[in-house]
Chain A
């Protein structure tokens, strides 16, 4: 119970007082389970697997392995765990946009549904390689060169490449440890103007400090829809920030926002600059808005839950409560107060 060590003003144990009824209902049930050979409350294989998957999928960023360890201890069933892990890890990895290092210093590949070729293969357009990954171990086991069907046409690649370079520049400035990728998710075989295509910009940053009981992640996904007929780029962004602090307590931040913008369809280089500026603008504003939300917490937002002090600005007069309840009666009679 390492995390529940309470703050103590004097010595003592932290055991909770047991309630008067001593859980008759629960203890009876638990005793019955131990006595029966095949208790009717025994879960089926599939039920256990679904529960195991649920725990894995709901692990905060960077904590799935700790969850896995505890889960195995609770399940005590290697088979169920393995199957649950095989199904849950890929989903978790893709939604958390995890970055895996590719061999021979080729950089990181982002595991996402946008870069997915097959469930174990993910495209890194920047190096034109496909990374083969082991989801449960969360590593890239090897890479192979991408073949032509997997890569965009040279026309699309012009736009993708320019945008990738601009985004990389932005990310290296704004994020101490961010990774980005640009994938083409629609129309990648267009060989010239006249068709629509869609690029997706992914930015993924995580900070893991388990020794400080704190982990966090930032995920940005920007869909850029290049619309040929209107000569407009329709830009939709989704940002998600999460943080988990769990030293003698447990607190989570879960913040998200969506953005919509547009710009004109220009040359590859000009588009790249325009898009990167739009992304930079919205992300910076969002961060500022988060700061504002945090700064309003102590004196405004939190007050809707509990005030720091009563309206009287003094502590509650416990010894004078007789006086207080009389006041309340009078208030009620006069229809004062709320």
Chain B
């Protein structure tokens, strides 16, 4: 199992789906472990009734159907399916509305979905998802990207309320890939994934949504910066190690 995860870490991030299905066919007895540990780019279904798209994941799935956060109905329809309690559903509806605005502000497009369910510890779990196609044919505002995909999965475990405080444990996974294509730099592609966790104990005074939202915003920002500066930065450093820029080679003094 550890070897399987090792393989997945080395395969090109863009091929993670192929790599995962190859491993699932080689190790069927580990399917549930593999599926729960590995994140794949998110898929989307249309909720015709609400005329909106929603994101598919293991958290809104029951058997082979998926529940839309807009209509609360399973696609395709399913009998005796799992639903959140009506109280939790109210929170879920509000979360979807607010998260859509958050998504708009940061992503200028894209699709979002939030799913909630009760857990065994008298708390609940919420899953916030975002999918953005940033390519110039998608929602890329500036037309920089030939191809661009951002998939974010935020799973928050919320503990029971105790003395007006609650424990929040957030696990965030970002998967992204971007490709630019122009004459001077040719085809330039970066892709990857990163996962981090964050735990906080917060006052419930302003409501769960507020606390969860702030945590997600903070961690998403950190991950974005990390990917940009640390991760992509390391690949840039590597390129300069392989072939240092001409200025260094010729020992010219810098102009500025």
Contacts and interface: CB of A to CB of B under 8 A. Distances in A.
B32 A325 contact: no
Interface string A1-44: 10110111110101011111101111101100110000101010
A256 to B, nearest CB: 5
Interface string B134-150: 11000011111100111
Interface string B61-82: 1111000000000000000001
Contacts of A6: 171, 195-197
A294 B37 contact: no
A278 interface: no
A306 B242 contact: no
Contact of A250 (B108, B192, B200): B192
Given A207-B242, A308-B224, A9 B234 contact: no
A252 B12 contact: yes
A316 B28 contact: no
B180 A75 contact: no
A149 interface: no
B32 A67 contact: no
Given A71-B7, A251-B234, A284-B246, A4 B195 contact: yes
A51 interface: yes
A70 B6 contact: yes
Interface residues of A, number: 113
Given A23-B58, A217-B242, A294-B232, A74 B199 contact: no
17 contacts: A7-B196, A27-B32, A47-B25, A59-B11, A206-B242, A244-B10, A251-B235, A252-B190, A253-B188, A253-B236, A301-B145, A304-B141, A306-B107, A306-B132, A306-B224, A311-B105, A321-B98
Interface string A210-251: 000011111000000000000000000001010111101111
B194 A248 contact: yes
A291 interface: yes
Nearest to A259: B186
Contacts of B232: 251, 253, 294, 297
B31 to A, nearest CB: 5
A55 interface: yes
A155 interface: no
Interface stretch (A91-99, A170-178, A190-198): A170-178
Nearest to B234: A245
A326 B186 CA distance: 45
A215 B156 CA distance: 34
Contacts, number: 333
A86 interface: no
B141 A12 contact: no
- Which of A23, A39, A243 gathers most chain B CB within 10 Å? A243
B185 A286 contact: yes
A303 interface: yes
A310 B106 contact: yes
Given A54-B18, A250-B192, A318-B210, A288 B12 contact: no
B132 A216 contact: no
Contact of B217 (A47, A58, A316): A316
Contact of A290 (B13, B119, B143, B239): B239
A296 B190 CA distance: 13
Interface in B1-20: 2-7, 9-13, 15, 18-19
Contact of B101 (A18, A30, A328): A328
Given A54-B22, A308-B221, 15 more contacts: A3-B9, A8-B197, A19-B117, A27-B31, A27-B32, A70-B6, A249-B231, A253-B235, A286-B186, A294-B232, A297-B228, A305-B107, A305-B176, A306-B220, A316-B217
B201 to A, nearest CB: 9
Contacts of B7: 55, 67, 70-71, 74
B107 A254 contact: no
Contacts of A253: 188-190, 232, 235-236, 238-239
A307 interface: yes
The 3 closest A-B pairs by CB, nearest first: A257-B186, A251-B192, A73-B3
A70 B107 contact: no
Contacts of B102: 316
A43 B25 CA distance: 7
Contacts of B59: 19-20
Contacts of A294: 232, 236
Contacts of A251: 13, 190-194, 227, 231-232, 234-235
Nearest to A3: B9
B213 interface: yes
A95 to B, nearest CB: 14
B189 A302 contact: no
Contacts of A73: 2-3
A3 B134 CA distance: 28
Contacts of B178: 301-302, 304-305
A216 B242 contact: yes
Nearest to A218: B242
Given A26-B31, A325-B97, A316 B23 contact: no
A297 B239 CA distance: 16
A319 interface: yes
